[in-house]
């Protein structure tokens, strides 16, 4: 009751009284998560800024049976929570007034309802994108799920709070997915390909090369193995060999976007921007694309724009990708794309543009 009284005091603007009451709760009950979170947020907030309140905890608002199952099987939350038969309006109240744990529970339920084309759940999630509640990563996950389930239309504009400011985002006319791709290799070679990718990511380049060479001994014309080997040749300082392998991969599969983008990047670094333009022409017109292909494509287009001195266009492409990032691997790929755009930029102008944009946001 003291915690809820503090929330009421904060809502009517009595912030100092709210802090006093939350401190009393936190001192008496160190594990009182919402009170402690609110006290920290109210203490750290800027003058005049509104502090999002965490009023409710799961123990107060969810059925005891659900809570017991979550306690006994925390790794099964994705299976347990969608069974909660609660109205969207009730879930909305929990999200807006709940703790971070409560918001996580509501997100799991609403995102699951997207699979059943629940337009009410989609409307709530779309509204959460513009609120300064939770983290930008959580809002990015919601935006990605809305797009993946077709709950946002082609060229839709959405408002997105990025942690610093409200941004207007125009979505893609293509469907973005994260489904695993079929390598076309038999199981033993498919495992080798996966091992080579892991080794590459861990910078064990010798192991990666050995695995790819073993694949190519059995399947000499496998586009993915050729393209991945080209990346290793680039690292080894043999760009001509890398280009030869990428061209061969494209001859075998003209639709292989990774090889096309990687060859375009090589052309950009060589200063042959016309050849890069030709390689990338029309690639943004695809109706369905894997998220990794999208990052590669938009990153390469940003690199090309930066090489031409078109910094605003390059930055817009990279900014468009940000809300789609859902895990560490995708974040790393986006970081690599920024690095390559900086590398391709004449006289460091793209880096200066990024720095100026950062200072403006600050």
Q: What is the pLDDT of residue 124?
A: 94
In this predicted model, what pLDDT tens digit does every residue of 252-270 receive, in sequence order? 999 999 999 999 999 999 9
- The C-alpha atoms of residue 285 and residue 289 are separated, in whole angstroms, by 10
Quote the tokens at residue 354.
């990024």
H/E stretch holding 44 reads helix 33-44
CATH classification at residue 241: 1.25.40.10
On whether residue 243 sits in a domain, the answer given is yes
Does pLDDT of 55 surpass 90?
no
* Total count of domains within the chain: 4
Looking at the fold, whether 164 and 94 belong to one and the same domain comes out as yes
| Max Cα–Cα distance, the chain, nearest Å | 74
Q: What is the pLDDT of residue 359?
A: 41
On whether residue 31 sits in a domain, the answer given is yes
What is the average pLDDT across 25-46?
78
Looking at the fold, whether 333 and 355 belong to one and the same domain comes out as yes
Does pLDDT of 50 surpass 60?
no
Looking at the fold, whether 286 and 357 belong to one and the same domain comes out as yes
Looking at the fold, whether 159 and 92 belong to one and the same domain comes out as yes
Identify the domain boundary among 120, 143, 171.
Answer: 171
Looking at the fold, whether 249 and 323 belong to one and the same domain comes out as no
In this predicted model, what pLDDT tens digit does every residue of 66-125 receive, in sequence order? 888 888 887 888 888 887 888 999 999 989 888 788 888 899 999 999 988 999 999 999
- The residue ranking higher by pLDDT, 162 or 147, is 147
Looking at the fold, whether 218 and 162 belong to one and the same domain comes out as no
Q: Domain range holding 224?
A: 177-254
Looking at the fold, whether 181 and 134 belong to one and the same domain comes out as no
On whether residue 275 sits in a domain, the answer given is yes
Count the residues in the chain: 362
Does the reported pTM lie above 0.85? Answer: no
What is the average pLDDT across 159-173?
68
Looking at the fold, whether 357 and 259 belong to one and the same domain comes out as yes
Looking at the fold, whether 311 and 236 belong to one and the same domain comes out as no
DSSP 81: G
Identify the domain boundary among 147, 171, 195.
Answer: 171
Confidence of residue 180 (pLDDT cuts 50, 70, 90): confident
- The C-alpha atoms of residue 55 and residue 244 are separated, in whole angstroms, by 61
């Amino acid at each position: 009751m003291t915690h809820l009284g503090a929330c009421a005091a904060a809502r009517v603007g009595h912030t100092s009284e709210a802090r006093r009451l939350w401190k009393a709760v936190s001192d008496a009950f160190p594990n009182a998560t919402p009170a402690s979170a609110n006290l920290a947020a109210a203490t750290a907030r800027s003058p005049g800024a509104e502090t999002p309140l965490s009023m409710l905890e799961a123990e107060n608002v969810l059925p005891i049976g659900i809570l017991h199952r979550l306690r006994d099987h925390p790794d099964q939350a994705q299976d347990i929570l969608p069974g909660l038969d609660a109205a969207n309006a009730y879930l909305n109240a929990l999200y807006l007034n709940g703790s971070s744990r409560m918001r996580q529970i509501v997100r799991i339920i609403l995102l699951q309802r997207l699979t059943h084309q629940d337009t009410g759940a989609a409307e709530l999630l779309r509204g959460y994108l513009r609120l300064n509640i939770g983290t930008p990563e959580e809002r990015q996950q919601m935006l990605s799920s809305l797009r993946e389930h077709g709950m946002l239309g082609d060229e839709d504009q959405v408002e997105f709070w990025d942690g610093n400011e409200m941004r207007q985002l125009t979505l893609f006319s293509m469907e973005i997915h994260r489904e695993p791709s079929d390598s076309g290799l038999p199981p033993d070679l498919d495992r080798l390909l996966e091992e080579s990718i892991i080794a590459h990511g861990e910078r064990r380049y010798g192991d990666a090369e050995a695995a790819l060479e073993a694949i190519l001994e059995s399947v000499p014309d496998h586009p993915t193995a050729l393209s991945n080997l080209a990346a290793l040749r680039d690292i080894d300082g043999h760009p001509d060999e890398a280009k030869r392998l990428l061209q061969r991969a494209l001859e075998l599969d003209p639709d292989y976007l990774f090889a096309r983008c990687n060859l375009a990047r090589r052309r950009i670094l060589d200063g042959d921007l016309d050849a890069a333009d030709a390689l990338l022409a029309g690639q943004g017109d695809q109706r369905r694309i894997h998220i990794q292909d999208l990052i590669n494509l938009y990153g390469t287009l940003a690199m090309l724009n930066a090489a031409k001195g078109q910094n605003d266009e390059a930055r817009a492409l990279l900014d468009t990708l940000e809300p789609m990032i859902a895990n560490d691997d995708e974040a790393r790929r986006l970081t690599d794309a920024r690095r390559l755009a900086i590398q391709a930029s004449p006289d460091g102008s793209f880096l200066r543009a990024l720095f100026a944009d950062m200072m403006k946001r600050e």
